[in-house]
Structure 1
C-alpha cells in the first residue's frame, strides 16, 4: 500500500496538470470568449498546455 501511495504522489504533478491546469485553461478561454487556436476545442488546447507542463514538473521535480 505504501508503494502505491508513493507512486501516486510521484505522478501527482502530471495528474494536477491534466486535472486542474487543463480545465483552468479551457475555462479561462471560455470566460474571455476566445477560441482555441488551430480549430481545436478549448479542453483539447488545455490538455495540450497542461499535460506537458505536468509531465515537465514530474520529470524535473519543479514547476518552473
Structure 2
C-alpha cells in the first residue's frame, strides 16, 4: 500500500494535468469559440498542451 501511494504521489503533476488542465483548456476553447490549430479537435489540442505541461511539471517539479 505504501508503494502504491508513493507511486501516485510521484505522478501527481500528470494526474493534475489530465484530470484538471485538459478539461479546462478544452471547455475554455469551446466556450470562447476558438478553434484548434492544424485542424485538430479542441480535445486533442487540450491533450497535447495539458499533457505537455504536465510532463514539464513532472520533470522539473514545478508548473511555472
Q: With structure 2 as the length reference, what TM-score do the two structures score? A: 0.93
CA distance in 2, matches of 1:15, 1:47: 12
- For 1:46, the equivalent position in structure 2 comes to 46
RMSD: 0.8
Count of aligned pairs between the two proteins = 64
User: How big is each residue's C-alpha offset from its partner over 1:5-56, in whole Å with a ceiling of 9 and x where there is no partner?
Assistant: 0110110101111121111111011000111111111110001100011111
Segments of 4+ moved more than 6 angstroms: none
Alignment of 1:1-40 (within 5 A): 1-40=1-40
CA distance in 1, matches of 2:60, 2:13: 10
